[in-house]
Amino acid sequence: MIKINVDCLSFIFNELQTNKTYLHSCLLVNKKWCHLIVPILWESHPWNINNKKSKEKLFNIILSCLSFTSRQLLFDNNIKLPSTILSKTPSFNYVSYCKFLKSKIIKEIIEMVSGKVFVTGKYGKYEYLEQELYKLYISQCKNIKGFSWQTSQPLLSFPGASICFSQLYSLSINEIDKVDTDSLYKMSRICKDLNILIIHGYSQEKIPGLISLIDAQRKLKSVSFEFRIKQGPTCKELSEALARKGNTINKLNLRSVKIIPPSFLTSLTNLKTISIYNDYDSDVSTREEFQNYLAISEFPELQILCINGLSCFKESATLVEKTRGNISHVNIYTSDSVAENTGMLIKAIANNCPNIEQLSTYLIPEDFDHVRSLLLNCKNIIYLGLNSLEYFTDMDENYDVGDELLNILTKFSPKSLTKMVIGAGWKYSVDAFERYFESCRERKLYYFGISYNIDNINYITDEHEIIIKKYIDEKVIIEFVY
């Protein structure tokens, strides 16, 4: 039998890492294969295990890697480890192969040992187990790639922290108020090559440390702030820190527009993805300021635009017109039952986004002509969600205004359009419904949905649902959501 050299084997096994079944079957071929495959399997941890017994076996292996000193400390504090953990030192230093450290996994191991479910993360005497598990990972893992941080343990003071976190690529701080303040400053001195930074929660006293961490990064590309608070001072300094990274940041996710002043938006000249979620109870001046900065910003490389809770159809249209035509996804959700300039956005997309694949927005019947242009110009669109705004009209209340939209979809939909959502706030005739579904026979609707509008107006009747069921039975509609 021809022997394959180690480099070739390593390449093959790494290519197979997306299919753990194949790798597991290769483990038993011989000792050399086993030594090559084990590090690959443990690099990202097989954490998607749903089987409780399998997960417990995995956790027991991790606990088996604890040092004698750690075990003694736990014993002295009346923490009894499972009798099923390995009595001998494991054949491999499994933990050292891990490239991702998640606080959630530490929590699950503690819950297995204690037999309790912890919600707040305050583990009582089991904080000693939390401490020793983190010490284990930090001392053994060299240059982890991703870290999910949710503990008040002084991790950056543990032995090996400067090596463990020095090449960190992705950092998610799940509850920043729980993170030791000094650790943020220490992390900024150790970790300088973050590409992804995700912040959940808000703490005013942690902002200086967070700014220090942001300033230390040389190639920060993706930032996400999940500030779910109703009250709090605006943080001009944080906005300025983001502006200083304007040349590198290409992805922005912002949960609350209240805390970070939007002036930094004009500095993000290389932005490819922007996702903004505005709390519906924010004041008018805050919304207007954000909309004004969106209007004067330019993101020529933009590919994904998602805005929730801001009625900024005109501003979004202006952004689209300033791009280089590479937009693939646009999702706009508004909190206003009556919005202006909805047609401007659809028209801008039709004229400037030939490669768009997904669009979800609001519109009124006057905008239906723009939908025709959209379908004619955008031949790659896969998903289209057209949600109805409240519509005031002097027309006969029996007029089926939605038929115009369905007729346009019937005549002009490209073959690529296999996922469709329409608003329940327009009236549709049953005949128009049936004609539309008949036109979908060749391409099939893998997804068809009906969405309520902001005021929960619904004109979908039992007759419409009977037609929908018919086409589901005939496999024209694969999935229906109402």
pLDDT digits (tens, 9 = 90+) for 307-338: 998 888 999 999 999 999 999 999 998 766 66
- Comparing 452 with 418, the larger pLDDT belongs to 418
Q: Who contacts 12 (Cβ-Cβ below 8 Å, separation ≥6)?
A: 4
Indicate whether 139 pLDDT > 70. yes
pLDDT for the residue numbered 480: 94
Structure tokens at 10: 């390593």
The CA distance from 69 to 118, in Å, is 26
Average of per-residue pLDDT across 135-150 = 93
Whether the Cβ atoms of residue 126 and residue 110 lie closer than 8 Å to each other: yes
The CA distance from 291 to 297, in Å, is 10
pLDDT for the residue numbered 409: 97
pLDDT for the residue numbered 280: 55
Considering only 7-11, 182-186, 205-209, which range has the smallest mean pLDDT? 7-11
Q: Where are the beta strands (DSSP E) in 269-328?
A: 273-277, 304-308
Backbone dihedral angles phi then psi of residue 421, each to the nearest 5 degrees: -130, 130
Whether the Cβ atoms of residue 423 and residue 451 lie closer than 8 Å to each other: yes
In the chain the first and final C-alpha atoms are separated, in Å, by 60
Indicate whether 230 pLDDT > 70. no
| Alpha carbon 350 to chain centroid, angstroms | 27
Average of per-residue pLDDT across 277-306 = 86
Name the one residue in this structure whose structure tokens are 């009250």. 231
The CA distance from 480 to 148, in Å, is 36
The CA distance from 193 to 191, in Å, is 6
Indicate whether 40 pLDDT > 90. no
pLDDT for the residue numbered 394: 44
| Start-end of H helices in 66-170 | 68-76, 103-114, 127-140, 161-164
Whether the Cβ atoms of residue 403 and residue 435 lie closer than 8 Å to each other: no
- Comparing 122 with 100, the larger pLDDT belongs to 100
pLDDT digits (tens, 9 = 90+) for 410-450: 999 999 999 999 998 889 999 999 999 999 998 899 999 99
Per-residue burial over 316-349, b if 16 or more Cβ lie within 10 Å, else e, is bbbbbeebeebbbbbbbbbbeeebeebbbbbbbb
pLDDT band at residue 170 under the 50/70/90 scheme: very high
- Comparing 273 with 456, the larger pLDDT belongs to 273
Mean pLDDT of the chain: 87
Distance set, CA 219 to CA 16, 192, 198, 343 (Å)? 30, 8, 15, 38
Q: Is 298 exposed, middle or buried (0-12, 13-18, 19+ CB in 10 A)?
A: middle
pLDDT digits (tens, 9 = 90+) for 352-394: 999 999 999 999 999 999 999 999 999 999 999 999 876 544 4
Q: Who contacts 271 (Cβ-Cβ below 8 Å, separation ≥6)?
A: 249, 250, 251, 252, 299, 301, 302
Residue from 444, 428, 447, 452 nearest 476 by CA: 444
Indicate whether 21 pLDDT > 80. no
Structure tokens at 89: 């030192």
Distance set, CA 98 to CA 15, 162, 164, 170, 308 (Å)? 18, 16, 11, 14, 37
Considering only 10-24, 389-403, 455-469, which range has the smallest mean pLDDT? 10-24
Q: Is the dihedral of CA 172, 174, 180, 181 positive or negative?
A: positive
Structure tokens at 347: 């028209």
Q: Who contacts 130 (Cβ-Cβ below 8 Å, separation ≥6)?
A: 106, 110, 123, 151, 153
Per-residue burial over 93-125, b if 16 or more Cβ lie within 10 Å, else e, is ebbebbbbbbbebbbbbbebbbeeeeeebebee
pLDDT band at residue 44 under the 50/70/90 scheme: low
Whether the Cβ atoms of residue 134 and residue 104 lie closer than 8 Å to each other: no
The CA distance from 244 to 251, in Å, is 15
For the chain, percent of residues with pLDDT exceeding 70:
84
pLDDT band at residue 109 under the 50/70/90 scheme: very high
